[in-house]
Amino acid sequence: MALEDAKNEVDGAFTRKDLRGLAFENAFVGATSFLRRRYTKDLAGVDLAITGVPFDQAVTHRPGTRFGPRAIREASALQPFDPPYGWPTSPLEDMAIVDYGDVAFDYAHTPSFPGLLTAHIAGILKAGVGTITLGGDHFITLPILRAYAEKYGPMSVIHFDAHSDLWADDDMDRIDHGTFFYKAVKSGIIDPKTSVQIGIRTHCDDYLGVEYIDARTVHEKGVAHTVARAKEIVGQNPTYVTFDIDCLDPSAAPGTGTPVWGGLQTWQAAACLRDLAGINMVGGDVVEVSPAYDTSGATAIAGAHVAHELICLYHWAHHRK
């Protein structure tokens, strides 16, 4: 850490001039933008936008993920001092990254939310900027994918989760975080043959042609097997990576709405994400962080690390020098 900078930097979310570079503001002070990036709606010259979606009206059990984006931003204050461990590159120094803030929506008019979110993401993509989204429950991935499919066509998806989210539900207006993948496949915005789910450990009647690598397989066959198969499946197709924090075991991430035992440990998730370098990753999200159920803050810390790794994957695909 640059100690002289640490003495003088504060509120970089508003005061920093350069969109690139590490940040040395003390982790316990200041405005908590993600990784101390500048808060701005100006996308001129921007490579990647971080945006929050504080929505949790689609949950089947414990609510609270509306507070996820704020908690993840706060937890990320521990990370912008150095290049990310395990990567040979430094995305914060090489890319112009901003915190675009949260999507605005009427909390009391849930039916209007999906369209608002799709328009929010589509506006960023239209500017030639990629997105990493902080959720929010997992329903948010469906309207986000609609925006991506408008630009790229049917998406390949790498989906980290305890649940397949393939509950059959043909009512496309119904909002439920357990059905987003089903509706995305049925709507044609996901290509099931080039998509994969990792960490699954709950029952699913029909995977609709999507290959899954369950948590036991990850544990028994290892990260190398998991990543090699995932890369084989998605190839070089435009790929969206969505990470439900309940993919992690509850011992590592208790702050989530529908925890399931037997999940990935954080080292396995970190290794999977790092070894996915080389996929054509065009966007991603981390969802289902519900901080009220974890007084230690470990779940939000894990969420912040996942989002940082997604930035690294995006950088590797598009801006690596």
Q: What is the pTM of this model?
A: 0.96
Distance between CA atoms of 206 and 185, rounded to whole angstroms?
12
Residue ranges of the binding site:
138, 161, 163, 165, 244, 246
Could you read off the pLDDT of 132-167 as tens digits, one per residue? 999 999 999 999 999 999 999 999 999 999 999 999
Instruction: Indicate whether 89 belongs to any domain.
Output: yes
Instruction: Indicate whether 8 belongs to any domain.
Output: no
Residue whose C-alpha is closest to residue 50's, from 76, 88, 86: 76
pLDDT at site 284: 98
Distance between CA atoms of 213 and 148, rounded to whole angstroms?
24
CB distance 52 to 136 below 8 Å: yes
Sign of CA dihedral 116, 247, 75, 313: negative
CB distance 264 to 218 below 8 Å: yes
pLDDT at site 2: 62
Number of H helices, E strands in the chain: 10, 9
Tokens of 41: 């709606």
Instruction: Indicate whether 85 belongs to any domain.
Output: yes
Residue 45 sits in a domain whose CATH number is 3.40.800.10
Backbone φ and ψ of 314, nearest 5°: -65, -45
Could you read off the pLDDT of 64-117 as tens digits, one per residue? 999 999 999 999 999 999 999 999 999 999 999 999 999 999 999 999 999 999
Local mean pLDDT, 10-residue blocks, the chain (321 residues): 68 92 91 96 98 96 96 97 94 97 96 97 98 97 98 98 94 90 97 98 97 98 98 98 98 97 98 98 98 97 98 93 63
Instruction: Indicate whether 26 belongs to any domain.
Output: no
Residue ranges of the binding site for Mn(2+):
138, 161, 163, 165, 244, 246
Residue 155's domain spans which residues? 38-318
Residue whose C-alpha is closest to residue 183's, from 152, 208, 214: 208
Instruction: Indicate whether 6 belongs to any domain.
Output: no
Instruction: Indicate whether 106 belongs to any domain.
Output: yes
Instruction: Indicate whether 185 belongs to any domain.
Output: yes
Task: Count up the domains in the chain and report the number.
Answer: 1
pLDDT at site 5: 67
pLDDT at site 320: 75
Instruction: Indicate whether 15 belongs to any domain.
Output: no
